[in-house]
Amino acid sequence: MRPRLKSDEAFERLRALLLDGTLRAGEFVSQQDLVVRMHMPMAPVREAVKRAASDGLVEVLPQRGVRVMEATSQRILDSFGLRLLVDREGARKHARRGLAPGLGELKRAHEAILAECRRDLTDIAIARSYEVDWALHAALAGAIDNALVADLYERNRERLTILQRTRPMLPDRVVPSLTEHLAILMAIEARDPERADAAVAEHARQTLRWWGFLNPSFD
C-alpha cells in the first residue's frame, strides 16, 4: 500500500465538508478560504480540489475559485436516473435469488422503523429511516457484484448526498418512502423480478415527484 499523502488527507477533509453540508450545492468558495477551513497548506488543497472536480463534486473557475456542484434539474435527474438503473438491476437479481439473510434483517428494520414513525415521528426515528434508506440502496447495488459499478454508484451517492442537503426530507415523505422500500423487499421475498423492478421504479418516481418532477418517465 502506498503511504498516505497530504493530498489524500486534504481530499478527505474537503469531501467531509461537502457531504456534511458545510459546503452547500452551488456555493462559491475561494481556494484560500478552503485552506483556512481545511487547516491544510495550499498545495494539497489544490490537489484535493482537482480530484473533487474530476468526481463532479465541484467546478474550478479560473481566477475565481471553486463552486460546489449546483442542484440543477438536469443534475438531479441524471443522478437519480443513474441510481435507478443500478437499483432496478440489483432488485431483479435479488428477486431471482430470494430474500437473503441480510435483506431479511433489513426488511425487519424497515418494519420496526415504519411502526415507530407512524406512532411518533421523532428526529431520532427520521434519522434511523435515513440509515435504512441508504442501506437498502447499497444492498440493491451490491447485488450486481461489479467493482466498476460499485465505484460509480458510490461516487453518485456522494453527489446525491450533496444534492439532498439542499432539500432535507419533509416528515410527510418519511412514511411513504419506508412503505415504498418495503414493497421492494416484499417483491424480492416473493421472488418476483418484474414486481421488484416496478417497485423500484415507483419509489424513484415518487422521490422525483417530491423534488418537483411531476411526471418523470423511466421507459
| DSSP annotation string for 48-61 | HHHHHHHTTSEEEE
CATH number of the domain that 21 lies in? Answer: 1.10.10.10
Q: Which three three-digit cell numbers place residue 164?
A: 439532498
CA distances from 121 to 116, 124, 129, 134, 155 (A): 7, 8, 10, 19, 31
Interval 91-132: pLDDT, tens: 999 999 988 889 999 999 999 999 999 999 898 998 899 999
CA-CA distance, 145 to 207, in Å (whole number)?
26
Length reported for the chain: 219
Range of the domain at 187: 73-210
Does 151 map to a domain?
Answer: yes
Using pLDDT thresholds of 50, 70 and 90, give the confidence band for residue 1.
low
Interatomic CA distance for residues 152 and 143, integer angstroms: 14
Domain count, the chain: 2
Same domain for 37 and 23: yes
Residue for cell digits 411526471? Answer: 215
Q: Which residues pair with 60 in a beta bridge?
A: 66
Where does the pLDDT of residue 4 fall: very low under 50, low under 70, confident under 90, or very high at 90 and above? low
Tell which residue, 164, 150, 134, has the closest CA to residue 69.
164
> How many CB atoms lie under 10 A from the CB of residue 110?
23
Comparing CA positions, the residue from 45, 10, 6, 17 lying closest to residue 158 is 17
On whether both 64 and 97 belong to a single domain, the answer is no
Question: Quick one: 111 and 206 in the same domain?
Answer: yes
Indicate if 173 and 119 belong to the same structural domain: yes
52 plus 125 within the same structural domain: no
14, 41, 68 - which closes a domain? 68
110 within 8 A of 178, measured Cβ to Cβ: yes
Does the pLDDT of residue 138 top 80, yes or no? Answer: yes
Same domain flag for 81 and 167 = yes
Whether the CB-CB separation of 146 and 95 falls below 8 Å is answered with: no
Domain contains 37: yes
Domain boundary among 68, 96, 113: 68
> Span 176-204, mean pLDDT?
97
* DSSP secondary structure letter of residue 68: E
Cα end-to-end span (Å), the chain: 44
Last residue of a domain, one of 36, 51, 68: 68
The DSSP 8-state label assigned to residue 24 in this structure reads P
Specify whether 104 is located in the same domain as 13.
no
Helix (H) or strand (E) holding 148: helix 147-164
- DSSP H stretches of helix in 55-146: 73-97, 101-119, 123-142
The tens digit of pLDDT for each residue in 37-96 reads 999 999 999 999 999 999 999 999 988 889 999 999 999 999 999 999 999 999 999 999
pLDDT-derived band at 192, boundaries 50, 70, 90? very high
The answer on 81 and 64 residing in a single domain is: no
Question: Strand pairing of 28-29 and 58-61?
Answer: unpaired
Residue 212 phi, psi (nearest 5): 105, 5
